[in-house]
A and B are shown apart, each in its own frame.
Chain A
Amino acid sequence: MGEASPRGALLDPLAIPSADPPDETEAPRRIASREPLSDALFRHSATGAGVITVAIMLAVGLFLSLRAADALRTTGWSFLTEQAWSPETNTFGIAAVLFGTVTIALIALIVSVPLSLGTSLLLSEVASGRLRATLVSLVDLMAAVPSIVFGLWGVYFLQAAIIPVSKWLSIWFGWIPIFAVTDASGQPFTDASAFTSSAFIAGIVVGLMVVPTQTSIMREAFSRSPIGEREGAYALGATRWGMIRAVVLPFGKGGIIGGTMLGLGRALGETIAVYMIISPIFTINWQLLKTGTNSVSALIALRYGEASEFGLSALMAAGLVLFLLTLVINFTASSIVARSRSGAESDD
């Protein structure tokens, strides 16, 4: 648009009044206060699209809550404390699956936060030019890789490769309860089969899946840190790491926290990769390296088919709790990110 045709440059605004004096008799331009029909149509159809969207989404929320209410009325608060899942006998609760979900998500964060923090600092501070552009689009691409592909990799490659590490951890750090792998009588397991399908393995795979989300938010926050303060730090003789510690990390703090929490939200809701890796159990398993864990989404995928009307309502209640959890986390995260954005603008 900026490059108009060369002949356009001939336009001379000064020539206008002399060539065509304003017509005194012409009535002043009427400024329409009534919108034309086409605009009214446009406004109504755009509003209609908004209304339909809200209707769909509220329908999901309302439907889930209404159907979940059946199950929740039966169990009351014991829904949050009961570990077993058998709606047929009216003893069901999400203590075990929620525990599994949260442990898998926390392991995922332990894997993903160092990776995404390092990578986003690499992208915003170390790499430059074409390399940076390529790596940034690689991160975006990673976010689009289907979760089933991660699941395949987790089951067929990572599981076998990670078992020695799990074993080593359990031998050397077995005195810490979460790293111990013992049978019912407290004897340590050494057999490799005791280490498969654990929360640890699922957590690593989910961690790799959420790294791209976290990286892109953190990188954006870091690259927004003000250039004046950066140059000030360099001018005072800081090394690059000194500058990052004094300027980039404090300014990007909101991005780090928000990105981590958004990653946590995604990790909690991940289904298929977790479902493929874990072997589902319905008890709380503190031994993270040992076979057997569970997650809310895996529970739904596992039980929806055989569920009765009431069983489905119980699954909806579990789904609703998961949804509320991710909802709170996402809203907190996006308000933190938004707040950090508004304060961190620089005027060069």
Chain B
Amino acid sequence: MTDLTEVLDLSDTTAPAATTIPDPGDAPDAPRRQVRGFTARQRFDLVGGGVAGMALAFLLFGWFAPLSGVIGWVVVAFACFLGLYMLLASLDSDAQDVFDRLASALFSSAGVALFGSLVFIVTYALTRGVEALAHPNFFVQTMEFAGPLDPLTVGGIAHAIVGTLIQISIALAITIPLGIGTAVFLNEVGGRFARFVRTVADAMTALPSIVAGLFVYAALIQAVTHERSGFAAGVAITVMMLPIVIRSADVVLRLVPANLREASYALGSSRVRTVWHVVLPTARSGLVTAVILGTARGIGETSPVLLTSGITAAMNTNPFAGPMVSLPLQVFDFVRSPEPTVVARGFGTAAVLLMLVLTLFLVARALGGRAPGDLSARQRRAARAASERDEQRFAMRRRAGSPGRATASQTPSAEVSS
């Protein structure tokens, strides 16, 4: 209470309230605060905590805790590490700092756990697949004459590779024109119906892939064709891929700067020419990325194919008749078998599928990942060459079209405007 009255007294005696700006003086700015990075001491804490945590985990794990197995050990070691790290950090900093460092450690551990498990899952499939991949016949033969007891030197998955390619081609042949066309409609035509289309497309991204498969199974196979086929599988993949492609193409087209469109309209071009020569080329890399990522998702999808394509061991290149197996479905079929060699074939097939998806992803990264209008060095050179050509063309027209005005060639600006 006394403090308060003192303060009040003080405020009463001073002049009427005014904002005072403290004199900065000529003291130099304090050094910039370090909010990222480590000092040597902190790094030592981290390493020390890690080593001590693991040591303690060996001790506790063997004798005290009724846990066994790798995962249990990792959990115990991690808990020990966190405790010891906090202890070490609290030796030289206050509570705020300790919590800060604990939080950073937790974020990094989440990242390590996630990326570690991703790399582990991918390499696990690849390494267990090597056994089957080592035999070249795996890529060129089919399973038609290979039984479950045959060694890995007989039989392969050529039929599944071909089946995947045919099915994804069918899906792409429908998805690309329809998906990009719908995205163009959403952005370039617009209106109330376009908003409805966007809502429906968003809703369909929620469709579970197995339900897409069930739909095609009941509506196409049971009602019309009465047999499973590659075409039905392609349609099922389409139903699943279409909303994904529409959504990402829509986002890409929305990023095209409006001033490019307006410039094109101001030059008097029609709507279709604006879309074809300005909007689509500007968004090209993004659209390609959208399609490729959609393809990667479609290729790896098992459940719609499970219901629609049927399983066969023989090569079938006719999508309209007879079952046609694809890579993910072949994996699924192989690993249901109790035979170790067949399971090895399954892992080999999964490795092929994974490599296909990885390749598609890398291609998408190499082509895309750029905002509209952000050109690579090569594209900039091409754009520069194109405008050089335009300028030469203008100069030639000028010489041919207006021979009378010889002096005009010195002032190109006048000619361009006329």
Hey, which bits of chain A sit against chain B, CB under 8 A?
Answer: 1, 3-5, 7-8, 10-13, 15-16, 19-20, 35-36, 38-39, 41-43, 45-50, 52-54, 56-60, 63-64, 67, 114-119, 121-123, 125-128, 135, 137-142, 144-150, 152-153, 155-157, 161-165, 168, 171-172, 208, 211, 215, 234, 239-244, 265, 268-269, 271-272, 275-276, 296-297, 300-301, 304, 312, 315-316, 319-320, 322-323, 326-327, 329-331, 334
Contacts and interface: CB of A to CB of B under 8 A. Distances in A.
B418 interface: yes
Given A168-B66, A208-B121, 18 more contacts: A1-B373, A19-B413, A115-B114, A121-B107, A128-B36, A149-B350, A152-B331, A156-B343, A161-B70, A163-B69, A165-B67, A269-B211, A272-B306, A272-B328, A275-B303, A276-B335, A316-B218, A331-B203
B318 interface: no
Given A119-B111, A146-B299, A57 B204 contact: yes
Given A135-B115, A146-B357, A52 B208 contact: no
Interface majority SS (helix, strand, loop, mixed), chain A: helix
Given A57-B204, A148-B300, A142 B219 contact: no
Contact of A234 (B35, B204, B360): B35
A282 B117 CA distance: 32
B87 interface: no
Interface in B287-307: 293, 296-297, 299-303, 306-307
B11 interface: no
B272 A41 contact: yes
Contacts of B157: none
Interface in B60-112: 66-72, 75, 96-97, 99-100, 102-104, 106-111
Contact of B110 (A50, A119, A241, A320): A119
Contacts of B271: 35, 39, 42-43
A15 B418 CA distance: 12
Nearest to B272: A42
B107 A164 contact: no
Interface of B: 33, 35-36, 66-72, 75, 96-97, 99-100, 102-104, 106-111, 113-115, 117-118, 120-122, 124-125, 128, 177-179, 181-182, 184-186, 188-189, 193-194, 196-197, 200-215, 217-219, 222, 239, 242-243, 246, 270-273, 275, 293, 296-297, 299-303, 306-307, 328, 331-332, 335, 343, 346-347, 350, 353-354, 357-358, 360-361, 365, 369, 373, 375, 380, 383-384, 387-388, 391, 408, 411-414, 416-418
A70 B111 CA distance: 49
Given A241-B103, A327-B203, A152 B346 contact: yes
Contacts of A11: 412-413, 416
Instruction: Tell me which of B208, B213, B272 has the highest count of chain A C-beta atoms within 10 A of its own C-beta.
Output: B208
A230 to B, nearest CB: 10
B97 A239 contact: yes
A130 to B, nearest CB: 14
Interface majority SS (helix, strand, loop, mixed), chain B: helix
A67 B391 contact: no
B300 A145 contact: yes
A315 B206 CA distance: 18
Contact of A1 (B68, B201, B383, B417): B383
B416 A122 contact: no
Contact of A330 (B104, B206, B246, B413): B206
A152 B215 contact: no
Contacts of A242: 96, 100
Contact of B208 (A3, A10, A164, A326): A326
B195 to A, nearest CB: 11
Nearest to A157: B124
B114 A240 contact: no
A47 B189 contact: yes
Contact of B353 (A149, A155, A171, A326): A149
B169 to A, nearest CB: 18
B128 to A, nearest CB: 7
9 contacts: A41-B272, A58-B200, A139-B114, A141-B361, A144-B293, A145-B357, A153-B124, A165-B69, A330-B205
